[in-house]
Amino acid sequence: MSSVTSALRECHRLRVHLRNLQAEIDRGPRVLQGYQDDLDTARQSHKDHHDSITKLKLKQREDEGSLKQTETRLAKLEDQLTGISVQKEYAAKQSEIVQAQAKKGELEDAILATIMELEERTAAIPAVEQVWAQAQADFKQFQIEAAERLEGMKGDQEVCTADLARTEATLPPDVKPTYDNIVKTKGPDSFAASKARVCQGCRTSMTESQFIALRNGTFRTCASCGRMQYPVE
Ligand SMILES: [Zn+2]
């Protein structure tokens, strides 16, 4: 392959690679945001677990306070019952006692349920802590790897940019202005391989003599899509 067409082939490879690198670098912040969201979700669920324990403890204390009050009231009502001789008053007092007893039962059930839930949630703390620690470790690991990847890509970018400049500098002066014009608008899509006379950019065929000229290193653009061509086997 002549130097012009091999230079075009190399420019094509480098420009496509540079575009892909840039696209991946640009994707970085969105990928990071995804990992950040996962970390935030894990942080929230860790917090929710501990908050729920605090709330349950508070509820237990409140219910125990209410239970104490109800028991005091119940004792007072039962005490009052003995002094009543009027049937109607006696029945009313008894109804109050039944209500207070029901409330006492409800509170006792609620306290028991709270204690059981507290036990369950307290027992789950080690597992919850482990999940949270793992989420933080995963995020840290991602950050380290992402920073390494970014550094690698930036290094690659620098090398390829220099390679591209060096390769473009080898283009003959009569080709360079056309090259610059096409590249300005088409970027990495300024080039197309030609395989068995067929432009790989637009699938248009060229004549045999055009293909021979191309293989001999003649600079040409595709008559159909305008890409700069180079031959491939
Ligand atoms: Zn074409």
CATH code (residue 138): 1.10.287.1490
Do 44 and 139 share a domain, yes or no? yes
Do 136 and 206 share a domain, yes or no? no
What residues of the chain score a pLDDT lower than 70?
Answer: 1-2
Instruction: Find the 119 Cα to ligand 1 centroid distance in Å.
Output: 73
Contact 199, 225 (CB under 8 A): yes
Q: Where is the domain boundary, 123, 152, 170?
A: 170
Instruction: Find the 200 Cα to ligand 1 centroid distance in Å.
Output: 7
Do 51 and 110 share a domain, yes or no? yes
Give the Cβ contact number of residue 7 at 10 Å: 23
Instruction: Find the 19 Cα to ligand 1 centroid distance in Å.
Output: 20
Instruction: Find the 207 Cα to ligand 1 centroid distance in Å.
Output: 13
Do 16 and 122 share a domain, yes or no? yes
Instruction: Find the 107 Cα to ligand 1 centroid distance in Å.
Output: 83
Do 122 and 196 share a domain, yes or no? no
Do 14 and 125 share a domain, yes or no? yes
Do 36 and 131 share a domain, yes or no? yes
Secondary structure (3-state) at 230 = strand
Contact 228, 221 (CB under 8 A): yes
Contact 226, 179 (CB under 8 A): no
Nearest to 202 by CA among 216, 191, 214: 191
Q: Where is the domain boundary, 170, 185, 202?
A: 170
Residue that has been written with the tokens 């036990």 in this structure: 119
Cα angle: 111, vertex 112, 117; to 5 degrees: 95
Do 43 and 23 share a domain, yes or no? yes
Instruction: Find the 137 Cα to ligand 1 centroid distance in Å.
Output: 51
Give the per-residue pLDDT at 1. Answer: 45
Separation CA 37–CA 103 (nearest Å): 45
Instruction: Find the 164 Cα to ligand 1 centroid distance in Å.
Output: 23
Positive or negative, the CA dihedral 146, 152, 154, 156 is negative
Tokens standing for residue 66 = 């209410």
Tokens standing for residue 127 = 């597992």
Q: What share of the chain is helix, strand, coil (3-state, %, to 5)?
A: 80, 5, 15
Do 228 and 151 share a domain, yes or no? no
R_g (Cα) of the chain, nearest Å: 40
Instruction: Find the 182 Cα to ligand 1 centroid distance in Å.
Output: 13
Number of domains in the chain: 2
Instruction: Find the 194 Cα to ligand 1 centroid distance in Å.
Output: 8
Instruction: Find the 170 Cα to ligand 1 centroid distance in Å.
Output: 24
Instruction: Find the 173 Cα to ligand 1 centroid distance in Å.
Output: 24
Q: Which amino acid is at 49?
A: H
Give the per-residue pLDDT at 2. Answer: 56
Domain that holds residue 41: 3-170
Do 74 and 163 share a domain, yes or no? yes
Do 124 and 17 share a domain, yes or no? yes
Secondary structure (3-state) at 147 = helix
Instruction: Find the 100 Cα to ligand 1 centroid distance in Å.
Output: 91
Instruction: List pLDDT tens digits, range 114-163.
Output: 999 999 999 999 999 999 999 999 999 999 999 999 999 999 999 999 99
Instruction: Find the 202 Cα to ligand 1 centroid distance in Å.
Output: 4
Q: Where is the domain boundary, 170, 190, 213?
A: 170
Residue that has been written with the tokens 């104490």 in this structure: 68
Instruction: Find the 8 Cα to ligand 1 centroid distance in Å.
Output: 15
Do 119 and 210 share a domain, yes or no? no
Return phi, psi of residue 205, to 5°. Answer: -90, 155
